[in-house]
Structure 1
Amino acid sequence: MRGNIDRRTRLLDTALAVAIAAAVLAAACVAATPDALGLTLIAAGSLALAEHRRAPRAVLAVTTACMLGYTAHAHPGSWAAFPVLAAVHTAARSGHRGWGVAAGAVFLCGYFTALIGAAPGAQETVERTLLLLGWFLCAGVTGLVDRNWQAYLHQTEQRALEAERTRDETALRRAGEERLRIARELHDSLTHSISIVKLQAGVAVHLARKRGTGVDPALLAIQEASGEAMRELRATLEVLRTDVVEPGTGLDRIDELAERARAAGIALAVTVTGVERPLPSDVDRAAYRIVQEALTNVARHADRARTTVRLAYGRTSLTVSVEDHGPGAPGGFVTEGTGLTGMRERVTALDGTLDAAPRAGGGFFVRAELPLRTAGTA
């Protein structure tokens, strides 16, 4: 039997045992005032039921012995069998049907023997014994029904858990299939286009150098950016195929990102405040991607205006802000494109906040506050 019964169940079992003891004692007092031995036997036989979950066979034996002794001592009515009926029921529910049958038979034989000489007539004793026999049969049957019902509930719960696990596995499999499909689409379309851009930029740089003319910085920036895009795209495809996060897309590469932006013509300044320290990998990647996307927007929409990137390491959060001095007018309407939408999704996934709007003095700003969990966690 289970040895680890929770406290609430123990209290309920104790309360039921006390209630049974009180009921039997009340019946004994109505019939005749019991002596000390009778009180002891009733109390011991009834209160032992509180431990029926831990030791059902021991409880059955103690209860049967006590109530049989009380029957032989005081010749009570049929109510004396009530604790034994409860013990037989719990034994059958625990799977000890044979023990319940044996205890019931022993008690009935002892009850009949004790009362056959004390009862007014043999017929009344036989009727009482047969009535108790019916009650013992009911106690055993209800115990078996209860056991089967508990088994059915357990089986139903296990089936529900198995169904839930199967649904989770199906969802994971479908997610994996979708990742592979996206990886194939990216590889077949975007990889080819970026490769063409990189190739054409490389040819243009080679021809310019071969002719002895200066290479336009914008052309070099295109060549570098296309190469970086190819590297990141390959890393992304690897993540989609293996579901493993690739390192190297965090703030440790902020200097490299800044150099590419300057090569593209952006007058960029990067400032860091607070104590730099290792960040959770998802926060690290999100911060890098926010800066990267903000600088891309500066190059596209702010005419490569003077820009400042600020990273502020706080005790519980990392603040990332990107401000440009472009032509954006204060109070202008902002239409969120794919870039801003992607930023907001990243920040929301980390329970952070994102503000993006025109600056009061002109230009545009992006400010994200990312909560920090335990450093080093993924």
Structure 2
Amino acid sequence: MGQKLVGILLNAAMHGGVPRLKTGQESLANYEEAAAAYGLTPCFVKLSDIDVASGFSSVYMKKGLQGYRRQIVPTPEVIHNRAIYDPRSTGVERLLRQGIQVYNSCNRYGKDQIHGLLERSRELQAYLPVTASGLSGLREMMNRYPDLILKPCRGSVGNGVMRLTRSGEGRWLWSYSLSGSRRKVSRSVNPDALPRVLRARLSSVPYLVQERIPLAEINGRPFDLRVTVQRGWGGAWQVTGLFAKLAAPGGFVSNIARGGEALKSSFALEQAFPGEEAARIRMSVLSLSLALARELEKSLPGLADIGLDIGVTKHGQLYFIECNGRDQRYGFQKAGLRGVWKDSYRQPMGYARYLYEEALRMNSY
């Protein structure tokens, strides 16, 4: 099979770091290795460097010992989107209209949107926490549940997440992290006169209010599971791997960026459950994750590479927590799962080759 280009679409800031090998958590070496396994050559591009009219793009490509250099190439026919754009941006849509196959064409979905799509499935409803929205939803949920999690619909890596816990004597405990810090703050609040700052937050941006799932714990620290589900060669969904995210001591969010710790999923589950039960839960998590991906793809065109957060209660009940459209794969590396980390790059490149072969097959008719 001859080599073909596969585009890796990056945001401008990350794209600018390619020649200096400064791309944050994205591994250029993993892309190179994974693409080569499928006879592909990766090129790194940003939207503003794609000229739809001419069909050519300015990209970064590796040139041996010279490192990454700018080149003008025909715009790749297949592009893996790893960028997040303003919802009003039409750049990716223009590429799709030109017949360019952009997979994970949108990778930032609101938590409310994802919850609504999954709620349509009768089979999956049992795995969804009870959910409301906004200030009115908060008051309703406070009447029903003693422990709540408040999440911004568009938040990421745990930013803006808050907790409200009934503390007795008619009071609630409001917990949150200071902006730009991992330091947690807690204060007692009157449910009949919620703090102005709290009310302002829920009024300024859309928030989900959910019953807090009593997650399984290790030494008093709750954990959930990050499951990477991807389409690879052949086009079918498969679970590439999973790891556990353990909340920081005293914390209520498990995000690694907020002080959480990445662990091997088998180790975490075996710490919280007997051996056979841990194995059963792990298999159930894999099955649920595939069912979630297949349900979401019905409504989200181009979906091919996602990270799902799955909670497990102390009694082994599974709950869907959230879907990450741009899965941060570095958790596998931090959990000591280097092989799975590499696989999380290999699968999308296999899917790119699959899309090329499918287009060739269709054009041969």
TM-score by length of 1: 0.21
TM-score by length of 2: 0.22
Structure with the bigger RCO (C-alpha within 8 Å, sep 6+) is 2
Task: Decide which structure has greater strand share.
Answer: 2
Q: Which has the higher helix share?
A: 1
